[in-house]
Amino acid sequence: MQQLLAVDWGSSSLRGALLDSQGRVLKERSFPRGILTVSPGDFATVFEACFAHWTGAAGTFCLISGMAGSKQGWLEAPYCACPAGFDEVASHLAWIRAGRIAIVPGLSCEHEGIPDVMRGEETQVFGALQLLGLQDGLLILPGTHSKWVHVAGGRIRDFSTSMTGEFYALLRQHSLLARSLPDTDGELDGEAFDEGVALALRGAGLLQTAFSVRTLSLFGRMAASRLPSYLSGLVIGEEIRTHALPAGMPVVLIGAEQLTERYQRALAQRQAVVRRVGAEATWRGLWALAQTIHPSWDP
């Protein structure tokens, strides 16, 4: 097995890593060239400009996950319907250059007639399962649009999206509450965060609990500097309140350390046993997928 160029091409950033045949990361680079910055038809040029010096080596296979496979991306890789595992995803790659560059499809599922979708997270989930040696469990990928993913027998059975990060940004920047908050978030205030989580967990919903940011400020019961952490706790707590936590099953948090730490802290109020995996999940997932399709790409 030769080298793998693993690429995570999302809406707002483009990251790549060169992996050897054992899955070890040799080099890593990041560019502010998310798909929203690339005009249709320019994807090949941007890709070459960023990674040509890596793809030049004979036997380098490239696998790309993320929004590059969306309608607005490089080449549309239609969603695979859940339940779906390595095999389904590996057999539905969208090939940019036969045997050399491929895009990993996202997944879709449906609840009572309402579709849900992910692109990129499926690869992180597969990577985390490999890294942790798991076949079953609940995996949470916090973010602008958080995903709660249920895995059984190594396959993604089902998932749901919560617009948690986006709601935080909307309330933080554009709502009436913004007037009570300082200009920048500052360090996390753990106690204020915990209070927000606690209220969300016992509350009736974010439409109501969010107003407490205003009233706590109005009555001088919480200093302005603590309110961003409190609001963060409210929205993350709301996400947790509105999902079932399976008893006795490990919960895996995947994502940047700062964010998964917050979720771990919030989930502690629900007595969840948590394991955390970082950005390495993406590289590991792409490497695992590349191994599955190995016969077709090893020159």
Which spans of this chain sit near a copy of itself (rule: CB under 8 A)? 112, 114-117, 144-145, 160-164, 166-167, 170-171, 173-176, 199, 202, 204-208, 210-212, 215-216, 218-219, 221, 235, 238-239, 241-243
d(CA 212, CA 231): 9
Nearer to a copy of itself, 166 or 261 (CB): 166
Q: Is 61 left (phi over 0), alpha (psi -120 to 50) or beta?
A: beta
Instruction: For the CB of residue 37, give the shortest distance to a copy of itself in the complex, in Å.
Output: 16
Instruction: For the CB of residue 195, give the shortest distance to a copy of itself in the complex, in Å.
Output: 9
Pairing of strands 146-152, 155-162: antiparallel
Nearer to a copy of itself, 8 or 239 (CB): 239
What is the tally of helices (H) and strands (E) in the chain? Answer: 11, 14
Two structure tokens written together for 23: 């899955």
Nearer to a copy of itself, 134 or 178 (CB): 178
Instruction: For the CB of residue 177, give the shortest distance to a copy of itself in the complex, in Å.
Output: 8
Residue 81: partners with Cβ closer than 8 Å, 6 or more residues away? 107, 108, 109
Pairing of strands 251-254, 61-65: unpaired
Instruction: For the CB of residue 295, give the shortest distance to a copy of itself in the complex, in Å.
Output: 34
Nearer to a copy of itself, 147 or 284 (CB): 147
